[in-house]
Structure 1
Amino acid sequence: MKRNLSQCGIAVAVSALACAFSSGAPAAESIGAPQPVPAFLSNADGQAQGIRCEAVGDDVLAHQTGKYAGSDMISGFVLNLLSQWQLPNGATAVAQGTLAVAQNAANQMSAQVKTYATVIDPTQGGTTGAKSGASQNASATGGQNVSVNGVSQITQVAGSGNSGANAATISYNNSNNNGSQIAGLQGGSNQPSASASNANGSIKAAISFGGNGVNVTLQTPAGLATQNIVPGNAQQAGAIAQLLQIAGNNQQVANQLQLSLQTQQMTAQMIRQTGVLQALRNLH
């Protein structure tokens, strides 16, 4: 299903937000666990590495020149979101979605979206019991009240034997690789939102795309996992937030976000014009 960009306001918001980040810079935060990392967490855990920064003074920056990815260079993007929670009693919650925005030769934008949510509870609604790993004497709160510009990743844990990871990756690709085509999402539908829950509502999974942003939420007796993308406006810059709150034992949780920006192919004439313009700007 294709939609005009004006009907999918988050498209421009995500693109503009992502342009603020450097190409291919991964951001990840993870918590360790005494047991082996489960298969669905292995990719996210492997990306768990810190971002290194070096401060540079104004006296150095004043003499530097370079290039950056302006908004006019972005011809589209693909956003993939996935949140998974596995409880020790075998219950599982999954919320997943993909948003693809592409620009044609006439500079017209179109958007496609797919969403998927499922909850599998072999206990037939009895997940609130002790076998769910939830701890009634533990709590993990406060992270949902944190507000930052840019990317934030918060992990709050009250329990033992847990595995969890927040992973976000932003990269640039040439638009000629057809990367703006929406990826296959098994079981997904061409709808802007999806939700699911078990019989007694103790486990819920939901995802939604809209003009107010992107929201992914998993709720279980042992905690909460969310991913949110908030568009920027005149008063506040945009933000990407990943949150894990685990108040239990032997929980396996993962938040994953992948944003691939498609850049326009520059002609030889455009490259020469850019080079001349930069040379003129360097003249004093």
Structure 2
Amino acid sequence: MNRHTLPRALFPVLVAVAAAAQPAAALPPQRPQVVDELTLSQVSGKYFGANMLVGLRVDLVSTLHTPQQGSASASGSLSIRRDGNGFEVQVDTRSGAVAGQHGAASAAGNPASTTGAETVRVNGIGQVSQIAGDGNAMANLTTISFEPSATTAATTHFNGLASSQASAGPLTARISFEDGGLQLGVAGPGARLGQQFNAGVDGQAGRISQVGQLAGHGLVGSNQLHLRLATEAMPVHMQHQLGIQQALAGLSALGR
């Protein structure tokens, strides 16, 4: 567990992106959550009883299964929580690959191909699926939720690794948290999955993108990402501090 100030203001920029995978396991089914105006006003307000944003957690996982019983997966978690004047940052990355019954399985003989999705650039959330061939299935899922601070606390061990990669036969999996975001990729014969979480540094807009390209037969792919924004009631001492600051600002505006 590391306690330090967040590099390059990663916390506020990640929040601006606003788009739980258990390590080495598939995410449970997720449902979209509609956030009403009242919830948003309570997060951003500065009045008695208002909630404030105190942290966030990002969990993601990508998996690929081949008809030869091969599989590859990559998962990661990032937790950022306010701690005094700084932030507590925890990270976890894991990856794995199994070649299957035919370790040298390939997409030979399949003339289908998928191109273009890897070059798509979006602001906000973008999901692209390109499928060619027979018996394939692909799913992209992004969920965003506002939750009490206690529910977003780490309930599993964070291994502290900022990157991980694995390979078996033709299957590969990799994930890497970078300054300002993360990159995830899973690939196999005739298949490529990817997720990108970009915080939008240097004046560029942030984005979340999920891409699935399947051009073989009998392939099953999945990208899942869950962003949880942690809120809690504004403490009394902070309300007092804000009140004093506003009062002083008002006095400074008086003529001399």
Which TM bucket (shorter chain)? 0.7 to 0.9
Q: Gaps spanning 5+ residues in structure 1: where?
A: 22-39, 52-65, 278-284
Taking a change above 3 Å as real, the CA distance of residues 10 and 215 of structure 1, as seen in their structure-2 partners, is farther
1:222 matched to 2:190? The reply is yes
Taking a change above 3 Å as real, the CA distance of residues 41 and 172 of structure 1, as seen in their structure-2 partners, is closer
Q: What is the rounded CA distance, in whole Å, between the counterparts of 1:112 and 1:195 in structure 2? A: 19
Q: Which amino acid aligns with 2:231?
A: T
Q: What is the rounded CA distance, in whole Å, between the counterparts of 1:71 and 1:191 in structure 2? A: 36
What SS class does the counterpart of residue 41 from structure 2 fall into?
coil
Counterpart of 1:149 in structure 2 is 123
Counterpart of 2:203 in structure 1 is 235
- Aligned equivalent of 1:258, options 226, 231, 255: 226
The Cα offsets for residues 243-269 of structure 1, whole Å up to 9 and x where unpaired, read as 000101111111000011111313579
- Aligned equivalent of 2:156, options 171, 184, 187: 184
Instruction: Report the Cα offset of residue 42 of structure 1.
Output: 8.3
Q: Which amino acid aligns with 2:219?
A: Q
Identity, % of aligned pairs? 29
What SS class does the counterpart of residue 14 from structure 1 fall into?
helix
1:43 matched to 2:29? The reply is yes
Check whether the contact 1:16–1:71 (CA below 8 A) recurs between aligned residues.
Answer: no
Q: What is the rounded CA distance, in whole Å, between the counterparts of 1:168 and 1:90 in structure 2? A: 27
Instruction: Report the Cα offset of residue 2 of structure 1.
Output: 1.7
Q: Which amino acid aligns with 1:126?
A: A
Counterpart of 1:25 in structure 2 is none
Counterpart of 2:252 in structure 1 is none
Q: What is the rounded CA distance, in whole Å, between the counterparts of 2:45 and 2:165 in structure 1? A: 33
Q: What is the rounded CA distance, in whole Å, between the counterparts of 2:178 and 2:72 in structure 1? A: 22
Q: Gaps spanning 5+ residues in structure 2: where?
A: 20-25, 35-39, 47-51, 247-256
Counterpart of 2:100 in structure 1 is 122
Taking a change above 3 Å as real, the CA distance of residues 129 and 245 of structure 1, as seen in their structure-2 partners, is closer
Q: TM-score, normalised by structure 1?
A: 0.70
Q: What is the rounded CA distance, in whole Å, between the counterparts of 1:129 and 1:245 in structure 2? A: 13
The Cα offsets for residues 32-87 of structure 1, whole Å up to 9 and x where unpaired, read as xxxxxxxx69836xx5x8x9xxxxxxxxxxxxxx8264499321111101000010
Match runs of 1:59-208 below 5 Å? 67=41, 69-70=43-44, 73-104=52-83, 106-123=84-101, 125-128=103-106, 136-175=110-149, 177-181=150-154, 183-184=155-156, 189-199=159-169, 202-208=170-176
Taking a change above 3 Å as real, the CA distance of residues 160 and 124 of structure 1, as seen in their structure-2 partners, is closer
